[in-house]
Amino acid sequence: MFGLYGRPIVRSLKSAGFKTFTWLMPEGERYKSFSILEKAVGFLSESRFERNDLVLALGGGVVGDLAGFGAAIYLRGIPVIQVPTTLLAQIDSSVGGKTGINLPAGKNLVGAFHQPTAVFIDTETLMSLPSRELVSGFCEMVKQSLIAGESLFEKTVKCLREVSKTKDFLLSTEFEELIAANCAFKASIVANDEREATNRSDVKSRRILNFGHTTAHALEAITNYRTFRHGEAVGYGMLVAGELSRNLGLLASQDLQSLRTAVALCGPLPRADHLDVNQIIRALQHDKKSVGGQINWVLLERVGLPKIVDGGLISARTLRLSLRAGLQRRPRQTEGGH
């Protein structure tokens, strides 16, 4: 990754008169840890970073979260610029100011809010992204558009159709505008509820960004984070949330069909129909986003109209049925456990 994009950036910063120090972290979610964070801030200290120096986080969400958290705590906070190179990081993790690391007990359990000074996105980086990382980013895009509204949803579906014809569409102005629209939407939600107030449940609260994430976190946890890329799990999470919404009489069948079509356009998802529904339900109870031990589902009334629903109001039977329907095998699936 650094070989692809790091060197040209360092060269151009140097030629613009900046002094640069490079630190590389190992690749992978498991390195979003305390011990790597310690190395990162240790490097800042050894390199004598001062309060008016800045961190430039080049990479996917793992790098952005760890480097952002390092910048948040070093000298009680120095600026960070995010330069996300995965689709997921470009439309989601680089915007909004959440930074952090994982604990053995769970993901993102330690962190800080630290808004980036700037986010620079070059869509050309998407061309070197492995296809599953793209699928993962597409799923998060669909999620964002489903809660944002008809206009973004339609644009997203149109772009996904174009990408399925030719990957070069990722370099088009239209796709660039779609990324910008996603960032603008996320920023509009965050500006309104920066710290994700637990007492808010309106359509503009940050909690609505968790659409599809309740089931996704459970799927990731029961498979030890090995089977699904995060966005792939969100793909299933949206299908389950869609089924639940329809089964509770909130969402029309036709809208559920649009949701299914949009998820299918993201690309193949690893299979999930062999997973144990009881185990998923147990994992759901441990969701980090629960408040007072209660799961709060983000469901949909229609595209652009999310609704936060108290899990206590959903019967065990409806939950089970919705999970089975959402996780069933569909065309274009790959075998799980890559």
| Closer of 278 and 337 to ligand NAD (Cβ) | 337
d(CA 266, CA 34): 34
Helix (H) or strand (E) holding 108: strand 106-113
User: Residue 230 to residues 35, 89, 138: CA-CA distances in angstroms?
Assistant: 23, 12, 11
Q: Which residue has the tokens 């014809």?
A: 165
Q: Is 98 designated active site?
A: yes
Does the active-site annotation cover 140?
Answer: yes
**Is 90 one of the binding residues for ligand NAD (CB under 6 A)?**
no
- Chosen residue from 59, 212, 237, 326 binding ligand NAD by CB under 6 A: 59
The catalytic position among 32, 132, 206, 217 is 217
Residue 180 CB, nearest approach to ligand NAD (Å): 18
Q: Check residue 88 for interaction with ligand NAD (CB under 6 A).
A: yes
The CB density around residue 108, as the number of other CB atoms within 10 Å, is: 15
Distance between CA atoms of residues 54 and 48, nearest Å: 12
Q: Is 11 a catalytic residue?
A: no
Is 217 a catalytic site residue? yes
Closest CB to ligand NAD among residues 125, 296: 125
Any catalytic annotation for residue 186? yes
Shortest distance, position 14 Cβ to ligand NAD, whole Å: 22
Say whether 338 is catalytic.
no
CB of 304 to ligand NAD, least distance (A): 21
Reply yes or no on whether 200 is catalytic.
Answer: yes
Sign of CA dihedral 249, 252, 255, 261: positive
CA-nearest of 53, 82, 87 to 67 is 82
List the interface residues with ligand NAD, window 113-132 (CB under 6 A). Answer: 125, 128-129
Between residues 190 and 248, which has the closer beta carbon with respect to ligand NAD? 190
Contact between 93 and ligand NAD by CB under 6 A: the answer reads yes
Q: How far apart are CA 218 and CA 280, in angstroms?
A: 6
Residues 5-44 that bind ligand NAD (CB under 6 A): 27, 29, 32
With respect to ligand NAD, which residue has the nearer C-beta, 217 or 307?
A: 217
Concerning whether 196 is annotated as a catalytic residue, the answer is: yes
Q: Which residue in the list 102, 114, 132, 140 is annotated as catalytic?
A: 140
Considering 32, 132, 143, 186, which one is annotated as catalytic?
Answer: 186
| Among the listed residues 49, 81, 82, 96, the single contact to ligand NAD using CB under 6 A | 96
Catalytic residue among 114, 132, 133, 210: 210
Which CB, 83 or 272, lies closer to ligand NAD? 83
CB of 195 to ligand NAD, least distance (A): 12
Q: What are phi and psi of 119, to 5 degrees?
A: -125, 120
Q: Is 76 a catalytic residue?
A: yes
Least Å from the CB of residue 309 to ligand NAD: 23
Q: Which stretches of the chain bind ligand NAD, using CB under 6 A?
A: 1, 27, 29, 32, 59-63, 65, 85-86, 88-89, 92-93, 96, 98, 107-108, 125, 128-129, 133, 136, 230
Catalytic residues: 76, 98, 140, 186, 196, 200, 210, 213, 217, 230
